Amino acid sequence: MIKRPLVKPAKLTLLEFLDKRMTLPAENKYYFLNLKKGYEGEVMFNTLTEKLSCDCHILNGLRFKFNNTIFQIDSMISTGQTLFMNEVKNMTGDYYYKDNHFYSINGEERKDPLVQMERASSQLRQLIHSLGFQVKVQPNVVHVNPEFTLYQAPQNAPIIFPTQLHRYVNNLNTISTKLNRNHDLLTERLISLHVEEDPYAQLPTYTYKGMRTGMTCGICDSFEITLHGKNGICRDCGHVETVEAIVLRNVWELKMLFPELKITTNLVFDWCGGAVSRKRISRILGRHCKMFGSGPWAYYVLED
Ligand SMILES: [Zn+2]
């Protein structure tokens, strides 16, 4: 049973917005692409684990602060026997181990996923122990991408390769031990200890003026939208969406990128690239937001 669903990190959503509306500095672009790839890997792994039929609790993306260290666990599967901790990797290309170090095929040393996993599992064990629970933790590095190859992997290392993924999940399904009240308590405690990451912390500096304005497609992020009566049609992918939905989605984007700005008809008119009339914008905002003030000073607060 999924106790904590996989959610897209707000930081990734913000970076996607920024990436389409400005040129990200190289280091931020690299970070963004890595984050995106990592998340896609977690989505891939999640499609397998969400179908688990054994008695288990699935906990995705929990982040803890313990012993003055922040650590994140991509996926935990708590069963009656063992708590499986999965460090999910969506790596592509060829890698090898030599003298206990991890290298890409061109000989560059890389961050060793096994070391990362060891660190996180040690923290997790200590955390669980400090909460007063006795649970066996089994950590694994799980490689989900079929384009990943690893040479000279240390034998018996807790690595699940793409070719072993289905077997891994099938084996979990054979666990017949049931969860008890203690497992429920541990799950509740772990979820309650989650520390949300500040999504704005590692973003590049950006300003409203530096953004490309205009409405974008909800599917392909294209700015090429033609309005046709009630609908907007994407000229790149053909996606059709109501103008109302497009405006609201873009207002939500504006709100996330610039939480300090007051949402006014004029601001949204500009943000949408002047494609929708002020009158129509204020009607749409009026239907979905709380309005404060009046006349040219009116501003809107999006209702959740
Ligand atoms: Zn599109």
Residue 219 placed within a domain = no
Task: Tell me, in angstroms, the distance from the centre of ligand 1 to residue 82's CA.
Answer: 45
Is the separation of the CB atoms in 71 and 119 below 8 Å?
Answer: yes
Query: Can you give the CATH number for the domain in which 296 is found?
Result: 1.10.10
Residue 272 placed within a domain = yes
Q: Tokens 């792994």 map to which residue?
A: 45
Task: Tell me, in angstroms, the distance from the centre of ligand 1 to residue 277's CA.
Answer: 22
Q: What's the domain range around 270?
A: 225-302
Which residues lie near ion ligand 1 (Cβ < 5 Å)? 217, 219-220, 222, 234, 236-237, 239
Task: Tell me, in angstroms, the distance from the centre of ligand 1 to residue 67's CA.
Answer: 46
Task: Tell me, in angstroms, the distance from the centre of ligand 1 to residue 279's CA.
Answer: 26
Report mean pLDDT in 10-residue bins for the chain, 304 residues: 96 97 97 97 97 96 96 97 97 96 97 96 97 97 97 93 96 96 97 96 95 97 96 97 97 96 96 96 94 87 80
How many domains are there within the chain? 2
pLDDT at 304: 66
pLDDT at 97: 96
Distance CA 119, CA 102 (A): 16
Spatial neighbors of 50 by CB under 8 A, at least 6 apart, are: 2, 58
Residue 93 placed within a domain = yes
294 and 179 together in one domain = no
Task: Tell me, in angstroms, the distance from the centre of ligand 1 to residue 249's CA.
Answer: 14
Residue 47 placed within a domain = yes
160 and 234 together in one domain = no
